[in-house]
Chains A and B, each alone.
Chain A
């Protein structure tokens, strides 16, 4: 029983981490709360639906394509729209709301409101201690873990990754040091969208696919990021796993709605007592 709760929590948590990393990256660097983040997740899933489900591409090719498409769209949107309003938090929120609405409605027009499914590329279960773990979830979790590790290496060791960290810490000083903030904005926004797209693409066979599927993961990313601290990457990882585990515990012992209310109350308490989150820095 205990192992099962732990495993379920970790499996769910890893996907939350991927969503939250992108969300918090965009905020940390551009000071934009990306309300459209869930729609990039949806886009990744839709790409898998079309390429893997309908055109018969191999699953992992379709997943990578989902990340790429989502990242490219992010790049275009950053260049055309978000770049104009960096520094204006209110306008950023409204802009991302608008983009979220537009992406949802395009999906609604193209695919209709019906939820669709993709056949699962993996099936069966294996046991870990006393817990039964479905294979498809395991694959998703392993991929998520790999993505997180790659992202970490990229941030720590690549020039661009270091530049991104520098801009997040202090945009003025880093631009004095020769970091071109424009390309850092573009890179971080599209990388965040790649992460969201990959998350959606990986989850496509597990949940149903529809225009509104991004809303719940977006909400979770929100909660995770508040808990971990907006703009903090380690916070996103810790918050994601914590939310995954606590949801798994609450959902086993209480009903789902009580768990949801409890998680919002926790968020209220965290924001009130420690507004910068568990690992966040104070706002400049």
Chain B
């Protein structure tokens, strides 16, 4: 526990040093880290339930396009449209959840895969609304109570606040009775249901929450970048999120946070050797699956907890 607190403090120190000393380029990468971290957390919720969802980037996309279009076309204040975009994503999860989440394991992966492909194809083909493959331009900047966020570090702060909120919420859920129910659903669903937990309802709740988080992350992304195309919300984004979780570690909420910190900057570090990016990525993933199944976070855990392995 003490170690976890220490790591949090170290993370915060690292992040704030970025703010103080980083140039815009470093800040941009840091901003992408704090946008991807909640995404990784949103996948983490589903992975903890034993259901690998490929739909998270689709929810991110729905949040992003939803928020951007509400502000651009209808002039809704950005904060409201951000929440509205995320709510649309959450609503889609709440509607599809009771159908999707009956299905387990590989079939759930295939199902969410097909769902996200359909969403992505709609983004690509409905050109009049979503701008198609050439993209949606001219998304206005985010503003909060009359203050316009124009600089990179504004968005970094926004992302950081949201990441911290998500992290805290997930920690709180994990420690609460609800967390215990989630764990029991993953460990032994029959037993859990026999003790009276409504498995499908809890799964749907978790799925809806994860979609909301992904939607907000998408909206922040949309306002930050100012341009949207279907590409960042495709299958590759799902692979990225899986890599982040595998590298960081799924068991603890800190895992995906650490994972994003290591994985998101990786393409930037390998900018000069573009072809080797993918290779490093794949090798990382493989090494972690084979040798460090619990992820980076297991290095910080006290050995007592290692019984699970």
Binding site for B on A (CB under 8 A): 27, 33, 81, 84-85, 89-91, 93-95, 97-102, 104-106, 108-109, 222, 226, 230, 257, 260-261, 264-265, 267-268, 271-272, 275-276, 283
Residues on B with beta carbons closer than 8 Å to the beta carbon of A93 = 52, 106, 109
Using Cβ atoms and an 8 Å threshold, which residues of chain A touch B173?
none
B118 touches A95 (CB 8 A): no
Tell me the B residues contacting A by CB distance below 8 Å.
47, 50, 52, 99-100, 103-107, 109-111, 113-115, 117-118, 121-122, 124-125, 239, 242, 246, 275-279, 281-283, 285-286, 289-290, 293
Contacting residues, chain A, for B47 (C-beta < 8 A):
90
Q: Which residues of B contact A267 (CB under 8 A)?
A: 110, 114
Q: Is the CB of A102 within 8 A of B289?
A: no
> Is B52 in contact with A90, judged by CB distance below 8 angstroms?
yes
B47 nearest CB neighbor, chain A only: A90
Contact B279 A109 (CB under 8 A): yes
**Are A264 and B114 CB-contacts (below 8 A) given A91-B289, A93-B109, A94-B289?**
yes
Q: Is the CB of A108 within 8 A of B278?
A: yes
Given A257-B125, A272-B103, list of 10 further CB < 8 A pairs? A27-B106, A33-B109, A81-B286, A89-B106, A91-B293, A98-B283, A99-B282, A105-B279, A261-B118, A271-B114
CB contacts between A and B, total, < 8 Å: 102
Q: List 12 A-B contacts (CB under 8 A).
A: A89-B105, A93-B52, A95-B289, A97-B239, A105-B275, A105-B281, A226-B110, A264-B118, A264-B121, A267-B110, A268-B118, A276-B107
Q: Is the interface of A mostly helix, strand, loop or mixed?
A: helix
In the bound assembly, the distance between CA atoms of A252 and B290 in angstroms comes to 47
Kindly list chain B residues whose C-beta atoms are within 8 Å of the C-beta of A268.
Answer: 111, 114-115, 118
Which residue of B has the minimal Cβ distance to A277? B107
Residues of A within 8 A of B105 (CB): 89, 283
Whose C-beta in chain A lies nearest to the C-beta of B52?
A: A90
Residues of A within 8 A of B113 (CB): 222
Chain A residues near B281 (CB, 8 Å)?
A: 101, 105
Partner of B118, one of A94, A265, A276: A265
Cα A81 to Cα B289 in complex, Å, equals: 10
Given A257-B121, A264-B114, A264-B117: A108 touches B275 (CB 8 Å cut-off): yes
A258 to chain B, nearest CB (A): 8
Q: Are A271 and B282 in contact (CB under 8 A)?
A: no
Contact assessment for A275 and B275 in the assembled complex, using a CB-CB cutoff below 8 Å: no
Separation of A227 and B95 alpha carbons in the complex (Å):
24
- The 9 A-B pairs at the shortest CB distance, nearest first, are namely A105-B278, A101-B282, A102-B282, A98-B285, A105-B279, A98-B286, A267-B114, A264-B114, A109-B275
Closest to B105 in A: A89
- Verify A105–B121 contact, CB threshold 8 A: no
Q: Is the CB of B275 within 8 A of A98?
A: no
Q: CB distance A230 to B106 under 8 Å? A: yes
